[in-house]
A and B are shown apart, each in its own frame.
Chain A
């Protein structure tokens, strides 16, 4: 039982990925699909940080007297990747929302089912 529980974080990452994808497929409003995309992005953050985690270890920030001897801290590389990714992902979301506003200006609707390339 404890062995299976140790794979829970990865299961949560896969669940978030598939749930977000399901929301994208069934979406009826472009803002709803942008938020589902954000959920899919969050699944990658959960996966990265779960891979880097070490049980009973602290954050990768140290005080001068205790210069680390290479153990008992979680992975700093995945943290560096994730924190830039969150901020940059927010600006990409902003770009998508700006495009949604533009689509509404041009076509009068934000329903993806009503927007087809072959119509007007």
Chain B
């Protein structure tokens, strides 16, 4: 099909899709006018029932915990896919360039190295902080894990890939990521044993406003932080590994 024919076909079908969407959206209430019944009910009971101040977290890990389990498995599968694709290197050992030897590199000054590596520690701590305060402020395992994984990029920028390879081991990150995913599923199985319902909140709830509140919400949040944090770190590590030349390319 030629370019022009494809574009014409697109515009025709886009018009049809737009018509259907507009028809469906006109049935929605205007922006910001009504609140859904499910939301009203949840807001009324969530803080009292779960002792958690962040209702979005309670929804994520308790009321809709099963959906979050499914999303976690999507994340795990995607990272496994990236691992498989990158596991075949083109022949020979990897050649790690020293920071000052890379072609076109104007050299990392001492200030950059100091600042970037310090920043990496701060970013990792910030990620853990965000994940820990899930029950009382905006935060949670997903956000904290994404922030935590980004510390890998800070180390790479400050010290180069050779230093990064010494700091972060792929096998350890892989193991911890799988452990996090398994922990979420095992918490569900354990709650099924204890209370007869998969992922029902069976731990003591704690005081609303303290960090370890919410029962299984806190435990599941820790498992999700482990998986997402180590998953993102592993992902970035695999990609940054691709910036090194193999021995063949070096010659």
Contact = CB atoms under 8 A, between A and B. Distances in A.
Do A and B interact directly, with beta carbons closer than 8 Å?
yes
Interface of A: 3, 6-10, 14, 17-18, 21-22, 25-26, 50-55, 57, 59-64, 67-71, 73-77, 79-81, 83-85, 87-88, 90-92, 94-95, 98-99, 101-102, 105
A77 B43 contact: no
What is the interface of chain A mostly: helix, strand, loop, or mixed? Answer: helix
A71 B31 contact: no
B102 interface: no
User: Interface size for chain B: under 10, 10 to 19, 20 to 34, or 35 or more residues?
Assistant: 35 or more
A96 B129 CA distance: 31
Contacts of A52: 36, 39
A98 B127 CA distance: 26
Nearest to B10: A25
What is the interface of chain B mostly: helix, strand, loop, or mixed? Answer: helix
Interface of B: 6-7, 10, 14, 17-18, 21-22, 25-26, 28, 30-36, 38-44, 46-48, 53-60, 63-64, 67-68, 71, 74-75, 78-79, 81-82, 85-86, 90, 137-138, 140, 142-143, 145-146, 208-209, 228, 231-232, 235, 239, 242
Given A63-B53, A67-B48, A70-B40, A94 B78 contact: yes
A65 to B, nearest CB: 10
Contacts of A67: 47-48
B49 to A, nearest CB: 11
Nearest to A15: B18
Contacts, number: 160
Given A21-B14, A91-B79, A84 B85 contact: no
Contacts of A91: 74-75, 78-79, 82, 231-232, 235
B35 A75 contact: yes
B62 to A, nearest CB: 10
A88 B74 contact: yes
B78 A21 contact: no
A77 B47 contact: no
Contacts of B232: 91
Nearest to B61: A80
- Among A62, A99, A105, max chain B CB count under 10 A is at A62
A99 B46 CA distance: 42
Given A60-B56, A77-B38, A87 B228 contact: yes
